[in-house]
Amino acid sequence: MSNLTNIREAQPARQVPPGPKGYPLVGLIPRLMRDMMGTYREAAQIGGIVEMDLGMQRAYLLTDPELIKHVLLDNYRNYVKGEQLDSIRPLLGNGLFLSEGDFWFTQRRLMQPAFYRPKLSGLADVMVEAAQMVVDRWEAQPPDQPVNMMYEMRQITQSVIVQAMFSTSISREETIRAGEALDYALLTLVERSITPFSMPEWLPTARNRRLREALATLDEVVYRFIDERRALVSRTEDGYDPTGDLLSMLINVRYEDTGEGMSDQQLRDEVMTMFLAGHETTANTLTWVWYLLSQHPEIEARLHAELDDVLGGRAPTFADLDTLAYTRMVIEETLRMYPAVWMTGRQSIEEDVIGGYTIPADSMLMLSFYFMHHDPTYWDEPEVFRPERFSEGGAQDRPRWAYLPFGGGPRVCIGQHFALMEAQLVLALIAQRYAPRLVPGQPIDLRLMGTLQPKEGPWMLLERR
Ligand code: HEM
């Protein structure tokens, strides 16, 4: 008998992990509805793997790097995104974020090359121009007029993703129309997924009607782009799209087994996925950067010194990215404190053992990057904003899996280089001219709807440097 078998027999997996106490029948649901962050925080403090009693369902919260690695990498084949994300399927369909198994793998392999860092260099100008357009608008408005920073950052990131996908800028009005439809659809669908008792979709309520309208608006915009592009391709001799943007990459793909390209429906799902995944998270991150800088003048001063030194007032380029090291550290530390994807979910296919506990098949797992990023076991003074943690050599004493703003394993964010590059360029351009200040007296509460963002605003004054 091997040693391994001996150990297993000597230490059988325990059955139920510890967890916060819930109410009979409804478990922790009333507490989560009253104070979601507080309830999760209390659970996360138990550490390891924690059972969350959700009334009819049991879920498991993971905040430990090794356990998260187990799910995302070591035994990733046993986990799917699962039913908990079914609510956003009307929006994202079978795109890269939600697809599974062999189909996901094929799509990922086909799309991955377009996201390698050197391939993205051509987008640097697009990113700088999008930020410049917003700055030009700011220059024309009275200096004492506050701006809603989340809204402003979203304008930039929406314009970047639209241009990266379609290499044309759609009109400002249409971008706003599509952006608002997307926000509404996403919020409603995510809310529905976390609210235990919501109205069925088929009921003709005002909310359901508006949701259907929002989805129809998005489809209309996306299918129009696909139709236009198919028409263009039909006029080329070789049947390939020469445009060079993300849509052309999707259109030009041919499946090895059939030699066919993607269907219109699949193109729509991938485009919608890129549009959603590719702008909201980066806008959130930039918003948190401005908030944190406004609260830490000494860090802001160091950032300004680097920008003045490296750029001396000119616009940043792709070639500056490696030199703007502190700018990048500010973004990395912001992603530690406020990871836009604060939690992700998985569903087990078969029974597994995690952290010494038996996890039944079909269990719901919640992997919280936010709480792991705030755990004093891995982070010295985790509530302190300190970009120096990400200086060269600064990361040596912590486990690699303790920092996962882009997730990990095979399903790690495909857009991570895109996002970091965009955040770095936008921050470098704007911080050369402005030191945004928080309008006083504003509470900064967290909104935990899919992504981590401020509940309101934040409203900021655009102080010129
Ligand atoms: C700061 C910005 C961003 C953050 C924090 C972020 C975070 C993440 C995380 C944590 C995941 C993994 C989710 C999971 O395993 O359940 C993910 C997946 C994904 N992200 Fe991002 N992301 C960002 C920007 C982007 C951008 C710019 C794009 C596209 C242009 C993008 C496209 C995707 C896609 C398509 C997936 C699914 C990948 C797959 O399953 O194969 N993301 N992102």
> Could you write out the three-class secondary structure of 308-354?
HHHHCCCCCCHHHCCCCHHHHHHHHHHHHHCCCCCEEEEEECCCEEE
| 202, pLDDT greater than 90 | no
Please name the residue that has the structure tokens 């249409």. 174
pLDDT for 395 equals 67
Q: In this model, does residue 8 exceed pLDDT 60?
A: no
pLDDT at 80: 96
- 147-148 β-sheet, strand order: 147-148, 459-461, 437-438
Q: How confident is the model at residue 242 (pLDDT cuts 50, 70, 90)?
A: confident
The domains located in the chain, with CATH, are 1-74+343-381 (3.30.43.20), 83-341+405-461 (1.10.630.10)
Q: Average pLDDT for residues 3-22, to the nearest whole number?
A: 66
**Mean pLDDT confidence for 194-198:** 55
Tell me the C-alpha distance between 440 and 430, whole Å: 21
The tokens for 319 are 């070639």
CA distance 30 to 359: 25
Going by pLDDT thresholds of 50, 70 and 90, the confidence category of residue 96 is very high
Task: Indicate if the pLDDT at residue 148 is higher than 90.
Answer: yes
- 88, 96 Cβ separation under 8 angstroms: no
Token code pair at residue 345: 């979910």
**Binding site membership of 419 for ligand 1 (Cβ less than 6 Å):** yes
Which one-letter amino acid corresponds to residue 57?
Answer: Q
Residue 65 CA, ligand 1 centroid: distance in Å:
19
Structure confidence at residue 59 (pLDDT): 92
User: Residues 251-263: pLDDT tens digits?
Assistant: 999 998 898 999 9
CA of 411 to the centre of ligand 1 (A): 9
* Ligand 1 midpoint to CA 115 (Å): 12
Q: Return d(Cα 372, Cα 370) in angstroms, integer.
A: 5
Give the C-alpha separation, 228 to 251, whole Å: 12
> Quick one: how far is CA 185 from the chain centroid?
17
Quickly state the pLDDT bin for 130 (edges 50, 70, 90): very high
Answer positive or negative: Cα dihedral of 219, 221, 222, 225: positive
Tokens 């001799």, located at residue: 237
Type of residue at 46: I
The mean-pLDDT minimum among 4-8, 244-248, 351-355, 440-444 falls in 4-8
Q: Determine contact, residues 65/402, Cβ cutoff 8 Å.
A: yes
Per-residue pLDDT tens digits for 341-390: 999 999 999 999 999 999 999 999 999 999 999 999 999 999 999 999 99
337 Cα to the center of ligand 1, angstroms: 17
Alpha carbon distances (Å) from 160 to 82, 225, 278? 30, 16, 9
Contact, 62 vs 367, CB < 8 A? Answer: yes
8 A C-beta contact, residue 436 and residue 290: yes
Whole-number pLDDT of residue 452: 87
61-73 tens-digit pLDDT: 999 999 999 999 9
In short, whether 274's Cβ falls inside 6 Å of ligand 1 is yes
Is 414 close to ligand 1, i.e. is its CB under 6 Å away?
yes
One DSSP character per residue, 115-179 reads GSGGGGGGGHHHHHHHHHHHHHHHHTS-TT--EEHHHHHHHHHHHHHHHHHHSSPPPHHHHHHHH
Per-residue confidence (pLDDT) for residue 201, from 0 to 100: 65
pLDDT at res. 6: 42
Q: How many Å apart are CA 50 and CA 321, to the nearest integer?
A: 40
Per mean pLDDT, which of 141-150, 195-204, 439-448 is the most reliable?
141-150
Q: What would the two tokens of residue 227 be?
A: 């139709």
Reading the block at residue 353, the tokens are 């053992």
SS3 content of the chain, % helix, strand, coil (to 5): 55, 10, 35
Residue 181's nearest CA partner among 216, 137, 232 is: 216
Q: For residue 27, what is the DSSP state?
A: B
Ligand 1 pocket: which of 104, 413, 451 to mutate (most atoms <8 Å of CB)? 413
Using CA positions, which residue lies closest to atom 42 of ligand 1?
415
Phi and psi torsions of 403, nearest 5°: -130, 105
State percent of the chain over pLDDT 90.
62
pLDDT band for position 9 (50/70/90)?
Answer: very low
* CB 159 less than 6 A from any atom of ligand 1: no
Q: Does residue 285 contact residue 338 with C-beta atoms inside 8 Å?
A: yes
Quote the ligand 1 centre to 15 CA distance (angstroms): 33
- C-alpha distances (whole Å) from 373 to each of 18, 339, 403 are 21, 8, 6
pLDDT bin (cut points 50, 70, 90) of residue 244 is: confident
Confidence of residue 187 (pLDDT cuts 50, 70, 90): confident
Buried b (16+ CB within 10 A) or exposed e, 3-38: eeeeeeeeeeeeeebebbebeeeebbbebbeeebee
- Please state, rounded to an integer, the average pLDDT across all residues of the chain: 89
pLDDT of residue 7: 42
Is pLDDT at 14 greater than 80 in this prediction?
no
pLDDT of res. 428: 98
Please report, as a single letter, which amino acid is at residue 55.
G
Q: What is the DSSP letter of 14?
A: B
Determine the distance separating the centroid of ligand 1 and the alpha carbon of 407, expressed in angstroms: 8
Tokens of 441: 């007296």
